[in-house]
Amino acid sequence: MTEQLIKAEIRVEKVYLCPHHPEITGFCDCRKPKHGLIVQALKEYKIDPMCSILTGDKERDILAGQNAGTGKNLYIQPLLKKGVF
């Protein structure tokens, strides 16, 4: 995904990944729909959540954005199915 964004001339500052799995490491705050990684990024880059747009292709992505208080949460799964991206 990062390569596709860079090809589209979108600068990627950092990628945040949840290293946990509920069955192996137990539950965490960063696995979606939890919003720990989003909050971490908002703090790290001093981003106003209300001025932010989250895109996701899973319902849990949108829930994570809503839990983090992002201003707009765009569900792009229908667009992916149409081949827009």
Nearest distance from residue 5's CB to Zn ion, in Å?
A: 22
In one-letter notation, the amino acid at residue 57 is D
Nearest distance from residue 33's CB to Zn ion, in Å?
A: 12
Nearest distance from residue 18's CB to Zn ion, in Å?
A: 3
Name residue 75's beta-bridge partners.
56
Beta strands 53-56 and 72-75, pairing class = parallel
Mapped onto helix, strand or coil, the DSSP state of residue 57 is: coil
For residues 30-69, which are near Zn ion according to CB under 5 A? 30-31
In the set 4, 21, 22, 28, which binds Zn ion (CB under 5 A)? Answer: 28
Q: Nearest Cα to 37, choosing from 56, 23, 24, 10? A: 56
Q: Does 18 bind Zn ion (CB under 5 A)?
A: yes
Residues in contact with Zn ion by CB under 5 A are 18, 20, 28, 30-31
